Amino acid sequence: MAEIQRFETSARLSRAVIYNGVAHLAGQTSVDRAPDIRVQTIDVLARIDARLAQLGTDKSRLLTALIMVKNMKADLAGMNEIWDAWTAPGAAPARASLEANLSGADALVEIIVTAAL
């Protein structure tokens, strides 16, 4: 049976979990709460890059992405612009996007990813 590795675990969540060669990241939100979806998306993706590097993988190994946007009508295009520029060429993950009432009134985007190690 494969070992489960948990990182930055609290009573509520782990920031990342590795199991069977797959890294599962908790939802990432922006530390920079500027009222601009592009700024927040850049920050979230930088945080994902850093976390993936800590786990020994990178965005070229993404398997899935779940993107939650506070206001799809207002912000999906701007988020997609940043996402498309960031995604590794030829390595786009399976992805779903949805509108969500995110925690924190000023959070505009939250992204959850899985990646192969």
Residue 103 has a pLDDT of 87
The C-alpha atoms of residue 33 and residue 85 are separated, in whole angstroms, by 21
Residue 40: its pLDDT value, please? 98
Report pLDDT for 99.
98
Q: Tell me the residue range of the domain where 87 lies.
A: 4-116
Claim: this prediction has a pTM higher than 0.85: yes
Query: Which residues of the chain have a pLDDT value below 70?
Result: none
Give the pLDDT of residue 105: 86
**For the segment 31-49, what is each residue's pLDDT rounded down to a tens digit?**
999 999 999 999 999 999 9
- Domain total in the chain: 1
Phi, psi torsion values for 112, nearest 5 degrees: -115, 135
CATH number of the domain that residue 37 is part of? 3.30.1330.40
Residue 104 confidence (pLDDT): 83
